[in-house]
Amino acid sequence: MALLGGDEGRPLRVAGEEVTREELFARASVVAGRVGGARAAAVNAAATLDTVVAVVGGLLAGVPVVPVPPDSGPAERDHILTDSGAELLLGDGDFGLPSVPVTGPGTASASGSPEPPGGETAMILYTSGTTGPPKGVMVSRDAIAADLDALAEAWDWTADDTLVHGLPLFHVHGLVLGVLGALRTGSALVHTGRPTPEAYAAARGTLYFGVPTVWSRVVESGAAKELRGARLLVSGSAGLPAPVFEALEAMSGHRAVERYGMTETLITVSARHDGERRPGQVGLPLRGVDTRLVAEDGGPVAHDGESPGELLVRAPTVFNGYLNRPEATAEALRDGWFRTGDIATIAPDGWHRIVGRASTDLIKSGGYRIGAGEIEAALLAHPAVREAAVIGTPHPDLGEQVTAFVVVSDAVGERELIDFVAGGLSVHKRPRAVRLVGSLPRNALGKVQKKLLPGL
């Protein structure tokens, strides 16, 4: 099966513009004919049909596609273009590169085009750059195909589905899953342009993708009631707070499917369409995926559902390496295992819970190792708390103290929230400081940017 599934299948609609598969592949084939042989091709990855045509055209040509966030600043954009070695820009944009037009009708079909080798890099996706300049993640065609096929099995995703989402087209969630997944399975796609509750409610899909912020807004607006006719609601890119999980179920009748992945691994763990869904947990490894936990000294961590350790992943979906960074690649990939940098617990029955990032979410306080995610979940159980983020901040005696940044809907004091957490968790896990803030800094996928919290 070709990576993109061929030109047979149901239509795609992006931000109100619809195209048949045949029309899409005809237009993309013209683009492919113009870019063949380029080292890499950049795409100004706005949420438009032209972006989809550009990406498909690059993939048909076997040229690595470099999605560039449309809101990226000049420094970030210049770094991505320089580091990736992009020689062309597919579509419009002031990138200082020769531009290949992607608009207009196609005159050719992709059905007879030879499939590039599966091990070749399909995309160069750039990380968020939380520990320095963004790194280029080289994702192969085989990795994408393996991941999409495993997800189709786990979610029973078929050509009979209509996928609905409004996620950015420069990340794994919105682009690889949300566009290439629809192409590979043959399902219809409705990309709403922006992920508004009204657009989700009006789309009448069977399969919906969203990040926690989207699902929270869908619940708050009442639009969740209009999703009762759907088959599956999938949440990812960050943990779905239990109150939102429960409210979504109450209004839509659906217990959300949560899943876990990274740019470097694609999606590796998920709840299944025909299985249990547990709030705050991301499920079981997908077909072909192995996982394990290690301590800071590299030793094994028990799969008892309580002991946190760094999550390691071994799978056919793992990336080819970081572009131009052999040292970083060697550090991340050891003996076939990718070090995710995420802290997790694994239950005896194999269910995974993501506690947070090792760099920001594993707090070492007074000799204890504390997962920030557990405290965030406890805070979110308070009826006045709308959002919560927890980090470790310096403490002269404990090394680090648990500090919470909280957005509330009603008047509530710091001491009340501290006592609320201490009443449900071990005393050493209670926040020693609570800061009430108007909002939490988030990226385009709704993930809290914890490095910015100390400045609030």
Q: Are residues 425 and 302 in the same domain?
A: no
Q: Are residues 262 and 166 in the same domain?
A: yes
C-alpha triplet 313, 123, 133: angle, nearest 5°? 75
Q: Are residues 348 and 367 in the same domain?
A: no
Q: Any idea what DSSP says for residue 47? A: S
Task: Kindly give the parts of the chain with pLDDT less than 50.
Answer: 110-111
List pLDDT tens digits, range 198-228: 999 999 999 999 988 899 999 999 999 999 9
List pLDDT tens digits, range 68-118: 988 887 878 898 999 999 999 999 888 999 999 998 776 655 445 678 899
Task: Pick the closest to residue 190 from 9, 10, 4, 14 (CA basis).
Answer: 14
Q: Are residues 227 and 323 in the same domain?
A: yes
Q: What CATH number is associated with residue 441?
A: 3.30.300.30
The number of residues in the chain equals 456
Q: How many domains does the chain have?
A: 2
Q: Are residues 308 and 399 in the same domain?
A: no
Determine contact, residues 123/323, Cβ cutoff 8 Å: no
Q: What CATH number is associated with residue 222?
A: 3.40.50.12780
Q: Are residues 130 and 245 in the same domain?
A: yes
Q: Are residues 234 and 105 in the same domain?
A: yes
Q: Are residues 141 and 263 in the same domain?
A: yes
**SS3 for 24?**
helix
Q: Which pLDDT does position 111 carry in this prediction?
A: 47
- The tokens for 325 are 């960074």
Q: Are residues 352 and 370 in the same domain?
A: no
Q: Are residues 275 and 421 in the same domain?
A: no
List pLDDT tens digits, range 343-375: 999 999 999 999 877 777 778 787 666 878 888
- The tokens for 447 are 């993930």
Determine contact, residues 236/259, Cβ cutoff 8 Å: yes
Amino acid at 88: L
Q: Which pLDDT does position 305 carry in this prediction?
A: 93
What b-and-e string marks burial along 180-193, b requiring 16 or more CB atoms within 10 Å of the CB?
bbbbbbbbbbbbbb
Amino acid at 104: G
Q: Any idea what DSSP says for residue 64? A: P
Q: What whole-number distance in Å separates Cα of residue 365 and Cα of residue 347?
A: 24
Q: Are residues 10 and 122 in the same domain?
A: yes
Residue 432, domain extent:
362-455
Q: Which pLDDT does position 425 carry in this prediction?
A: 81
Determine contact, residues 236/176, Cβ cutoff 8 Å: no
Q: Are residues 326 and 370 in the same domain?
A: no
Name every residue whose Cβ is closer than 8 Å to that of residue 40 and which is 6 or more positions away in sequence: 63, 64, 65, 66, 84, 85, 86, 87, 124
**Predicted TM-score (pTM) of this structure:** 0.84
